[in-house]
Structure 1
Amino acid sequence: MSETREITVLLADDHEVVREGLRLALLRSPHIRVVGEAPDGETAVTLAERRRPDVVIMDLRMPEMDGIEATEEIVRRVPDAKVLIFTAYSERALLQRGLESGARGYILKEASHETLLRAIEKVAAGETFVDPALMSSLTVGKDGSDVLTHREREILQLLAEGMSNADVATQLFISPETVKSHVRHILTKLEAETRTQAVAIALREAMID
């Protein structure tokens, strides 16, 4: 994705101080523009329909309609808007629910400014991003090798961290076509339709860390 392309962002969090902090942080990036703020899930859905942002930064725990429900509604009503879950909670079950709700990414509130920007840029480009700090805190399952090969798990891990096929190819010193072939095999083995769904399944079954 071109660095000069503007990314419009909607902030959804029930704490005004968090929204203000995010807004001020994003002002430092000239290619990112905040187009709205919502204190709850219902308002987030309404604003997403009205403002059509590229990315919605979504808190999970909010009054009335929570972040999971709001994400599902936004994905259904505004499919071009990509949701990035932004939360203090790092439980695997919440991560899996967030990704299965249609969110493109999951980042912890303690993440650095650089990680936040990378997450926004990745999900805006239609890629998956899971906070590296969260990924490293999860435990690798014992049965992952029964389903996926070591190389397939390695590739899926990199995809979960927000890398594109080209990035993975460069990282592993293999061709992009080889990466595509592995991704096809991963989707088939996990009975997943998309890479995001494959990541959610792999996290749920502890196939990747």
Structure 2
Amino acid sequence: MQVIMFDRQSIFIHGMKISLQENIPEIDIYPVSQADELWRRLLEYPDALLILDGDMDKSFCSWLLQEKAQQFPFSYTVIVTSDCQQGWLRESLAWNVQAIVPRHESVETFVQAINSAACGLMCLPGDWSFGYESERRGLDMLSHRQREILELLANGESNKEISRTLNISAGTVKAHLESLYRRLDVKNRTQAAMLFGACELSIQSYSE
């Protein structure tokens, strides 16, 4: 397992590297502290799991995650943060973030999060799971047709492409989308797709 760790705290990187190597024998960790070095590592190991310091400037983190998701779409990310209540963290789930781990958590929790993320499973702070259970119930309330449309939307298809796939008019697609936006309490297709993707993934919770 190849892991790139991008963190501003060299002591944290050093300690975590030793601990993870003791608990995940097959892991190879590449510590990084500069953005240009990160891109070199990602080019060298495009499928590597990224462990990102989420305590850095949120604008930088958001930009970095979006760029990484576009350039390295098969590379997952684990965010380490001192504050799991930062609003941008939920948005980050749309950018291949599979786990968010409080910085003070035990090595066992980090091992669980990394192993889950490497398998494409989601590992979130315990109190987040309740929100996703509620959102999942919202998806369950959609009609079969609305779920079909939402799934195609989440796959990146346009209204015209959805209408062709389902053999319905573009106007009908638009009407269904407006209805499901209201039902899911989202404002646009991006938020709807993000909600669908997050709720369709297996969520593994851990206690804070």
Q: One fold, TM greater than 0.5? A: yes
Code of the aligned partner of 1:192: A
Show the counterpart of 1:125: 119
1:83 deviation in Å? 0.7
Paired position in structure 2 for 1:103: 97
- Residue among 1, 16, 21 paired with 1:27: 21
Paired residues in the alignment total 159
* Long gaps (5+) in structure 2: 152-179, 185-191, 202-208
Matched, 1:192 2:185: no
- 1:147 lines up with 2:138 in the alignment: yes
Displacement of 1:98 after TM fit?
A: 2.0
Pair member with larger Rg: 2
Give the whole-Å Cα distance in 1 for the aligned partners of 2:139 and 2:58. Answer: 40
Counterpart residue number, 1:170: none
Counterpart of 2:70?
76
Equivalent of 1:86, from 66, 70, 80? 80
Query: Does the Cα contact within 8 Å between 1:85 and 1:106 map onto a contact in 2?
Result: yes
1:104 aligned counterpart, secondary structure: strand
Please give the alpha-carbon distance, in whole angstroms, between the structure 1 residues aligned to 2:137 and 2:117.
Answer: 30
Deviation at 1:64, TM superposition (A): 11
Work out which of the residue numbers 18, 29, 33 in structure 2 matches 1:39. 33
Is the CA contact (8 Å cut-off) linking 1:11 and 1:34 kept in structure 2?
Answer: no
Q: Give the Å deviation of 1:14.
A: 1.0
**How far apart are residue 53 of structure 1 and its match?**
4.5
Secondary structure at the residue paired with 2:56?
A: coil
Higher helix share goes to which structure?
Answer: 2
Question: Identity, % of aligned pairs?
Answer: 16
Q: Once the 2 structures are TM-superposed, how far is the Cα of residue 32 of structure 1 from its aligned partner?
A: 4.0
- Return the alpha-carbon distance in structure 1 between the equivalents of residues 29 and 100 of structure 2: 21
- Provide the aligned C-alpha RMSD in A: 3.7
Q: Deviations over 1:101-153 (max 9, x none)?
A: 33122111111211111111111111211132x537x8x69x86983569x9x
